[in-house]
Structure 1
C-alpha cells in the first residue's frame, strides 16, 4: 500500500494495545515493560495510567469504556467513567488465567480475549491450555483450546467473522478454518470494506475478505499492534517496538 508513514513519538520500550477514544479525541496505547498506558492527544504524549499492571491489549465496549488485558495481574478489566478499574475476568473454572493478551468487544457487549502465557512463568501456570475466551454479563466461556499462541483478535465489519491470530502457528483463523498464513502475526484490525490488517514479522500485511494478500506497509521497526483513529477513522496508528507511527489510509476502520 502506498502510504506516507509518520513517526509520532519514540523512546518507548515495547508498545502495544492502541485504541482510539473517539469521545475524547485521543489515542491510548500501552508500554508493557514501562508499566504505563500513554495518551496521545493533540500531538502531545502524556501518561494516562501508572502503574498499568503491565497492560497489553486495550479496546472499548459499546458504552465507550476502556477494557484492558493486564499481564501482571493476569486479568481483564474495565475502567468505569469515574475511573474505577473493575476486574471482569480473572479465573476460569477456578484456575487463574495465563496472561490475557489482546481483546475486542462485540456490539452486544460481549468481550473476547486471547490468553497465551507470555507473561507467566511455566511453574506459575494454572491452565494447561492457551485459550480464547468470551466474557458475557459476568459469565466466562472458553471458545477454543487448540491454539499454540493465540494473540490478536478482531471482528469483520458485520461481526459475522471473528479473526484470531495464532502467532506460533503462523496464521489467522476464523473458527476452525485458516483464513491466511502470516509470519508471526500479532495485532489485527479490519477496515469497513472487510480488509484485514495484520501486524506481522516484517510489515503490516493487508488481506482482502477472501484471504488474498493485497499489500503491505513497511515500518522501520517490527509492528506489534494497530488501530484506526481520528475523526474519520482513516488514520492507522501503529505500535512498533519503541515508537508510535501513523499513516493515512483510503478506507476507514471498522468497529465503534
Structure 2
C-alpha cells in the first residue's frame, strides 16, 4: 500500500515508492494481535509476541518465523536493558520480568504498594537502567476473569536502576499503552489508547528520572481520524520523529507533534521496533501479521548506548 504523504518533510523519512513487506501471518486468536517486536542485533533476528497463543516468535532471514518460547503468560511488550537482557510485560502473570542469558527469569515488578499490577503492557529502559512501563486496566481475555483489579487506576510506572523502588509516575490516563523516550531522553511520550481519547502525551523527564507532571502537554490527538486503528506501539528515530500506530496505519510525527504522513495498512497496526545492522528497517506487527519497511532515517537502537559489564538489580 502507498504511504500517505501529508507534509513534504516525510520524503526525507520514507523514500518515494517505498512500501512495506509482509513477513508472516496467522498469529494470535480471533482478537489477535502480534505484538512487542525487538531486534537482537548480535544474532541478526527479531523476536515478537504472539499474545493469545502465549508464545514468543522469532524471525530471521535464514529461517523465517519459528517459535522461540512457549507459555509466556501472554507476554506483550518487550525490550532490552543495558546488558542486552530481555525485559517483558506479561498479562496473565501481571508482572514485568527480565530474562538472563542462562534462561533464568527474575521479576522486576509485580506489585505496587502491596497490590497486584493490572496488566503490564509496554516497556522501555532508559540509558541509566531505569525501567518504565504502562499498566492499563485488566481486560478479558488478556487477563483471566478470576483476577479482579486491585489498583484503582491505570498507571505508568518507573523502576529505579537498582530495582529497589517502584513509583507510579502517571495516574490520570484511562488506558496507557505505548511509550518511548525522545533521543536525548528529556521527554517521555505516553499514549492513551482509550477509544474516546486516542492521544499522545509528552512529559519532561527530571534529573532523578521522575516526570514533571506540570509539564504534561498534548502531543498528538488522533480522534478526528475515523479510520481503523489507534495509538498503541510507539518509537522514535535519531532525528526525534515519533512513530505511533494510529488510524490507517503508522503515523509519522515531527518532534513538534505535526502529522507528516502515514505508513498505510489495512486493519489495525499494533507495535513496531527498529532493526537490521543500520537500524533503518522498521519492523511492525498487525492484528495477525509481521511486516517491515525500509526508512531513510535510523531509529534509536535497543538497547540504548554501550552495554556495561554489570547492572545492579
Please indicate, yes or no, whether the TM-score normalized by the shorter chain is above 0.5: yes
Q: Distance in 1 between matches of 2:74 and 2:146?
A: 18
Which residue matches 2:89? 69
Q: How far is 1:222 from its partner?
A: 1.3
Report deviation, 1:202: 1.9
Q: Is the 8 A contact 2:248 2:266 kept in 1?
A: no
C-alpha displacement of 1:201: 2.9
1:182 matched to 2:222? The reply is yes
Which residue of the other structure, out of 242, 251, 256, is the alignment partner of 2:297?
251
Query: Structure 2: how far apart are the matches of 1:77 and 1:23?
Result: 22
Matched, 1:81 2:109: no
Once the two structures are TM-superposed, the CA of residue 182 in structure 1 deviates from its matched residue by 2.2
Q: Corresponding residue for 1:149?
A: 175
Alignment partner of 1:240 out of 282, 286, 293 = 286
Q: Residue 49 of structure 2: which of 30, 38, 42 is its match?
A: 30
1:59 deviation in Å?
0.4
- 1:29-178 residue pairs with structure 2 within 5 A? 29-43=48-62, 44-117=64-137, 118=139, 119-120=142-143, 121=145, 124-136=148-160, 137-138=162-163, 139-168=165-194, 169-175=197-203, 176-178=216-218
Structure 1 residue runs without a partner (length 5+):
none
Whole-angstrom distance in 2 between the partners of 1:233 and 1:123:
39
**C-alpha distance in 2, partners of 1:124/1:201?**
31
The Cα offsets for residues 191-224 of structure 1, whole Å up to 9 and x where unpaired, read as 1110000111321001000111111101133100
More strand by share: 1
SS at match of 2:53: coil
Q: TM-score, normalised by structure 1?
A: 0.97
Asked if 1 retains the 8 angstrom alpha-carbon contact of 2:189 and 2:202, the reply is yes
Give the aligned CA root-mean-square deviation in angstroms: 1.3
Who is 1:198 aligned against? 244
**Could you tell me how far 1:228 is from its partner in structure 2?**
0.7
Equivalent of 1:210 in 248, 256, 264: 256
Aligned length: 256
Q: Supply the distance in 2 between the matched residues of 1:122 and 1:101 (Cα, whole angstroms).
A: 19
Q: Which runs of 5+ in 2 are unaligned?
A: 4-15, 204-215, 224-229, 305-313
Deviation of 1:42 after TM superposition, in Å, equals 2.0
Moved more, 174-183 or 147-156: 174-183
Q: Which range moved further: 125-134 or 221-230? A: 221-230
Post-superposition offset of 1:123: 6.5
State the SS of the aligned residue for 1:33: helix
Q: Distance in 1 between matches of 2:281 and 2:241?
A: 15
1:49 and 1:170 mapped to 2: Cα distance? 33
41-50 vs 29-38, which moves further:
41-50
Runs of 4+ in 1 over 6 A off after TM superposition: none
Instruction: Determine if contact 2:58/2:67 at 8 Å carries over to the other structure.
Output: yes
Structure 1 residue 41 displacement after superposition? 1.5
